[in-house]
Amino acid sequence: MIGSIEGKIEYSTDKYALIDVNGIGYKVYISVNTFKNLPEKSSKIKLFTHLHVREDIMDLYGFLNQEDLEFFELLISISGIGPKGALNILNVASVENLKKAIANEESSILTKVSGIGKKIAEKIILELKNKVGGEFIDEKFGTDGEAIDALVSLGYRLQEAREALKKVPEAIKEVGDKVRHALKILGKSR
């Protein structure tokens, strides 16, 4: 496997970059966000890569940082999402914004991608929300983050947990107390 590539940029478009490594030009597929952050032509660059091998072709996909590569690899681990589809997903938003959307079950950002409808967007969210969600739930909901995590781990949907915690009196500060109160609210609604 080729884990990274370092060389000079010969040519680049919003679809790929041609990287010269000791006289050999490697065509590396990139996202629009990667393209926007590339240095100018003839500059030295290092891209973290994923080598996709099929029967008849080998494609190299490049990313400026390890986080983007790891998210790309999470996307292609989902049945029905290939490397080109994953790159198209990365074209609509930054990895951080995509992770936030997945954590908060906002499928609208994913349905902007050509070929991804509501059903596939929901599948992506279902398969990835536990892998990317925790860090963004806490960020968005402050002290309620731990309570949301607890309710989700008990089998409640993220949206249900959020709605129940909105109804918990602000005077209740401890996570355990918030969870107990939210469970009472959730029990009444079922």
Tell me the pLDDT band of 138, cut-offs 50, 70 and 90: very low
- Secondary structure string (H, E, C) spanning 22-82: CCEEEEEECCHHHHHCCCCCCCEEEEEEEEEECCCCEEEEEECCHHHHHHHHHHHCCCCCC
What's the rounded mean pLDDT across residues 26-39? 94
CB distance 78 to 123 below 8 Å: yes
- For residue 59, what are the β-bridge partners? 52
Q: What is the pLDDT of residues 63-96, one digit of tens each?
A: 999 999 999 999 999 998 999 999 999 999 889 8
CA 142 to chain centroid, in Å, comes to: 21
Mean pLDDT of 38-58: 93
**Lowest-pLDDT range of 97-101, 140-144, 164-168:** 140-144
Q: Is the pLDDT of residue 36 over 60?
A: yes
Domains of the chain (ranges, CATH numbers): 1-64 (2.40.50.140), 66-131 (1.10.150.20), 135-189 (1.10.8)
